[in-house]
Amino acid sequence: MGDTLATMAQQTENSWITRLVSVKPAEIKALLVSGLYFYLVLCAYYIIRPIRDEMVIANGVQNIQWLMLLTMGVLLLIAPLFGWLTARYKTRQFLSIITLLFVVCLLLFFFGFNVGERSAMTTRAFFVWVNVFNMFIVSLFWSFINDVFSQLQARRLFAAIAAGGTAGALTGPLITAGLVQSIGLAYLLLISAAVLSCTLICIGWLSRWRNVEFDPQHSGQIHQLKNKKLGGSIWGGLTLIIRSPYLGGICAFIVLYAISITFVQIRQAELIEAAYTDPQLRTKLFSQIDFAVNSLALLLQLFITSKLITWIGYRNTLLLIPAGITLGFALMAAAPLLGVMIGLEVFRRAGDYAIMKPTREMLFSVVSREEKYKAKNFIDTAVLRSGNTGSALLYAGLRSTGIAAAGVAGMSLLLGMLWCAVAFWLGNQFSRKSAEKMSSNR
């Protein structure tokens, strides 16, 4: 009787999951753990993201380009350390080591924030650190998930896994908005550290999971592969990018994406700084924007994203958000108002998280294991931050010459058109590589 009830409960659980996601029974636990892992990662990040945004205004929006330049320098210094870790430790070990290092940093920042008056050095260091944390922890998550699941599984499951992250991104701002005025900024860092620590359990479970749907005859070998040392040099990521036009195309895509992020964020910060003078009210507004972004993203992930590739094809799915943001730049030029900027930011980030991010991560499902970790991490950190920094300096330079915000938006429109062209080319390259990989596996 007990076995019958357990079976019925399992069938009921499977039925609601399979209605939302095209998942096979043997994949359900791994899907749920992966979604939980991403939930915890983004919840931890979104607890502290509004604090980081407040640090921008506290240090003066006009100084953001220098903070981004410092972030880029830190990322370039970290790159060889990351290469050393991946060459000498197994996947589970270096993921756990990096996660614990970030937890320790949050604890150290707690003591820096839990004082009567924070120093400018502390706020600047926190801004830089949060950017490094976000880039590394999310990049490593997707590298690991690309290692856990096959290319065909990625098409079916990545949108659902991303939805788990979006749920975490919804929870984080709610925690911050609800607690910031009662407990202050410092204790939010402790909550973020506790949430992040829980990801170690997910890393351990996924490292042990045997993907029988991937290759039933050799699942043990695949288990060993996804938890082995990568080897290679500490600058392996850069070397791999130089040798591969495909990875070079991804770099170009990421740099143009970074321009869209930076121009919109700086302009939004300028308008919010002019409209609000209270730091806690600004932090609360940033939390509300985060909540709106992630609510929309979750709805898209649950009901739209997983079907888009089937409906319009991979290339057009990858192209969708760059095309929408390019149209947004035209709207910025015509009506540079706070409401318009917030609307564009919500569309940009929701579209990124729900559609472009999982689609972009699939680009790495057709490359080698070393490229999934080393090249991808270098692209997601050093290349992306270089794009952010360069565009921030460009924005400041354009404004200093007297070009109005509408003029900057017009220039962004031209860059957006180039971004769409790169997305079109990458979509074609992915389809070709995907077909070649499937043929070689037969």
Asked whether 202 and 33 are in contact (CB, 8 A), the reply is yes
Q: At what angle do helices 199-208 and 28-58 cross, to 10 degrees?
A: 150
- Determine the topology of domain 26-436 in CATH: Growth Hormone; Chain: A; (1.20.1250)
> From the CB of residue 216, how many other CB atoms can be counted at a distance below 10 Å?
10
Per-residue exposure over 251-287, b if at least 16 CB sit within 10 Å of its own CB, e if not: bbbbbbbbbbbbbbbbbbbbbbeeebeeeeebbbbbb
Q: Note the pLDDT of residue 56.
A: 67
Chain centre to alpha carbon of residue 49: 13
Confidence of residue 58 (pLDDT cuts 50, 70, 90): low
Phi, psi of 150 (to 5 degrees): -80, 175
- Distances in Å between the alpha carbon of 104 and those of 69, 85, 111? 24, 18, 11
pLDDT at 36 over 90: yes
pLDDT at position 60: 65
What would you report as the CA-atom Rg of the chain, rounded to the nearest whole angstrom? 21
- Kindly write down the DSSP assignment for every residue of 3-27, as one continuous string: HHHHHHHHHHHHHHHHHHS---GGG
Name the residue with higher pLDDT: 408 or 163.
Answer: 163
Domain spans, the chain: 26-436
Q: Is the pLDDT of residue 45 over 90?
A: yes
Range with the poorest average pLDDT among 224-238, 316-330, 368-382: 224-238
**Helix, strand, coil percentages, rounded to 5, for the chain:** 90, 0, 10
pLDDT score of 422 more than 50: yes
Nearest CA-CA partner of 376 in 358, 363, 391: 363
User: pLDDT by residue (tens digit) across 239-288?
Assistant: 888 889 999 999 999 999 888 777 777 777 777 777 777 766 777 777 78
| Closest C-alpha to 395, from 73, 71, 64, 127 | 64
Burial, 111: exposed, middle or buried (Cβ in 10 Å; 0-12, 13-18, 19+)? exposed
Neighbours of 386 (CB within 10 A): 20
Q: pLDDT higher for 413 or 231?
A: 413
Whether the Cβ atoms of residue 249 and residue 429 lie closer than 8 Å to each other:
yes
Of the candidates 249, 168, 175, 174, which has an alpha carbon nearest to the alpha carbon of residue 433? 249
* Averaged confidence pLDDT in the chain: 79
The CA distance from 108 to 409, in Å, is 40
Tokens encoding 105: 């940093």
Q: What integer pLDDT is reported at residue 220 of this predicted model?
A: 46
What integer is the mean pLDDT of 175-192?
A: 86
Distance, in Å, from the CA atom of 169 to the CA atom of 198, rounded to the nearest integer, reads 16
pLDDT at 93: 81
152 Cβ contact list (under 8 Å, min separation 6):
none
pLDDT digits (tens, 9 = 90+) for 72-120: 778 777 777 776 776 676 777 888 888 999 999 999 988 887 776 767 7
Q: Phi and psi for 95 in degrees, rounded to 5?
A: -65, -40
Torsion of CA 222, 224, 225, 231, to 10 degrees: -170
pLDDT band at 218 (very low <50, low <70, confident <90, very high): very low
